[in-house]
């Protein structure tokens, strides 16, 4: 996976053009991971809370 | 602290709610216009993108001025004392996670706005005569890099922010950002009463 996008200037030297858009999937994946992990943590907390109540 | 009928406590003034939703709408437009073409949905995105960017930048400047001179700026700044929340202490107006979310948004939005305004010089808009020679190609590259990183951070933050905002136990916060108020019981359940800061 590339981290950056590259191009060339008028002298043929490599210059950075920006972030590689491969990282878009990483950003979406990180967001989804936080959501899933929190949802699991929340579900476990609710289950153990109900069990304590019984 | 002004108490309204039905035991409502104002949490966010109308102008602050307007700022929040203008920011939300412009961020959605900015991310859609910049990222949809990348995933293959092609359309004339540039004009819509810079116009939304200008609106967001104006909103940010007004928000910073209001927060600095008309509100208690430190109410939203994370402090070491906030760590007491891990041992059960109730926060003031904003909890540590809310402060960290605001800090992350501030970093992303300010970085995007500052680099975006400079990139408008390269793109050419009614505000700037197009001049791609103001900076070297390398400098434009680094500005674009920062702009892109702010966009990626914003994608992550939108997902997390919307998720937490829609959780049933956070519904009072969502309502307060829509209608401005929480009930006193909701306030006392999660915050130190009397330390919510100005609305």
B17 found inside a domain: yes
B82 found inside a domain: no
Residue A23 has its nearest CB partner, among B152, B157, B163, at B152
Interface test with A, best of B112, B159, B161, B164 (most A CBs within 10 A): B159
Q: What is the CA radius of gyration of chain A?
A: 22
The count of domains in chain B is 1
B139 found inside a domain: yes
Long-range contacts of B67-72 (CB under 8 A, 24+ apart): B70/B198, B71/B197, B71/B198, B72/B197, B72/B198
B195 found inside a domain: no
Check pLDDT > 60 for residue B197: no
Residue B199's pLDDT is 43
Nearest chain A residue to B163 by CA distance is A35
> What is the predicted ipTM?
0.87
B79 found inside a domain: no
Nearest chain B residue to A10 by CA distance is B137
Question: For B138-190, what is each residue's pLDDT tens digit?
Answer: 999 999 999 999 999 999 999 999 999 999 999 999 999 999 999 999 998 88
Closest Cα to residue B92, out of B170, B10, B14, B188?
B188
Residues of A within 8 A of B147 (CB-CB) are: 18
Closest Cα to residue B27, out of B173, B155, B145?
B155
Can you give the CATH number for the domain in which B112 is found?
1.20.950.20
pTM of the model: 0.90
Say yes or no: A24 contacts chain B, CB-CB below 8 A: yes
Q: How far is A39 from chain B (nearest CA, A)?
A: 10
Q: Which domain holds residue B45?
A: 10-73+91-190
Nearest chain A residue to B147 by CA distance is A18
- Gap between the Cα atoms of B4 and B179, Å rounded: 13
B106 found inside a domain: yes
B186 found inside a domain: yes
Question: For B75-104, what is each residue's pLDDT tens digit?
Answer: 999 999 999 999 989 999 999 999 999 999
DSSP reduced 3-state for A17 = strand
């Amino acid at each position: 996976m590339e981290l950056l996008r590259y191009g060339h200037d008028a002298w043929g030297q490599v210059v950075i053009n920006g972030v590689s858009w491969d990282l878009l999937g990483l950003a979406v994946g990180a967001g989804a991971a936080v959501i899933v992990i929190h949802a699991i943590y929340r579900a476990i907390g609710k289950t153990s809370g109900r069990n304590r109540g019984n | 602290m002004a108490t309204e009928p039905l035991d409502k406590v104002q949490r966010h003034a109308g102008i602050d709610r307007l700022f929040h939703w203008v920011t939300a709408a412009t961020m959605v437009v900015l991310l859609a216009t910049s990222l949809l073409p990348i995933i293959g949905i092609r359309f004339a995105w540039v004009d819509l993108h810079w116009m939304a960017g200008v609106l967001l930048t104006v909103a940010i400047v007004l928000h910073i001025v209001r927060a600095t001179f008309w509100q208690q700026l430190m109410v939203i700044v994370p402090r070491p004392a906030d760590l007491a929340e891990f041992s059960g202490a109730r926060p003031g107006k904003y909890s540590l996670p809310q402060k960290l979310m605001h800090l992350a948004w501030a970093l992303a939005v300010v970085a995007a706005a500052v680099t975006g305004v400079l990139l408008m010089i390269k793109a050419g808009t009614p505000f700037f005569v197009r001049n791609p020679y103001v900076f070297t190609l390398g400098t434009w590259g680094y500005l674009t890099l920062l702009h892109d990183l702010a966009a990626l951070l914003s994608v992550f933050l939108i997902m997390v922010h919307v998720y937490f905002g829609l959780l049933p136990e956070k519904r009072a916060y969502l309502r307060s950002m829509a209608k401005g108020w929480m009930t006193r019981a909701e306030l006392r359940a999660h915050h130190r009463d009397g330390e919510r800061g100005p609305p």
